């Protein structure tokens, strides 16, 4: 994992996004603890297409269905960021 301005970039996002012919994509990610996450989809120019999830998510395996209907075919990338908040 690499740090980015207080957020962690999580490499454990499993998706079917490279299959650009399909319009339905299952995205799965695993959280080691309850976390505030942001899951976004970007196109080949790294322009944000959509934010699929933002908020507190539960520990364990989480699943999201992404409907790409109406989007042009091409490479897409999923980005999952997990914020770590420390309360003292």
Mean pLDDT in residue range 5-11: 43
Contact criterion met (CB below 8 Å) for 12 and 30: yes
How many structural domains are present in the chain?
A: 1
Residue 88 inside a domain? The answer is no
pLDDT value at residue 68: 83
Please count the residues of the chain.
88
Residue pLDDT, tens place only, 15-59: 554 544 567 888 999 999 999 999 999 988 899 999 999 999 999
At residue 1, does pLDDT exceed 50? no
Phi first, then psi: what are they for 19, rounded to 5°? -80, 75
Q: How confident is the model at residue 74 (pLDDT cuts 50, 70, 90)?
A: confident
Residue 34 inside a domain? The answer is yes
Structural domain including 39 reads 2-83
In the numeric block, which tokens belong to residue 17?
Answer: 């996004």
**CATH number of 18's domain:** 2.60.40.4070
Burial of 32 (0-12, 13-18, 19+ CB in 10 A): exposed
At residue 84, does pLDDT exceed 60? yes
Mean pLDDT in residue range 71-75: 79
């Amino acid at each position: 994992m690499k740090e980015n301005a207080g957020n962690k970039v999580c490499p454990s996002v499993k998706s079917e996004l490279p299959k650009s012919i399909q319009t339905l994509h299952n995205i799965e990610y695993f959280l080691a603890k309850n976390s505030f996450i942001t899951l976004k989809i970007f196109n080949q120019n790294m322009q944000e297409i959509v934010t699929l999830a933002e908020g507190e998510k539960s520990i364990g395996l989480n699943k999201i269905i992404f409907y790409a209907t109406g989007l042009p075919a091409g490479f897409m990338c999923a980005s999952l960021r997990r914020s770590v908040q420390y309360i003292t």
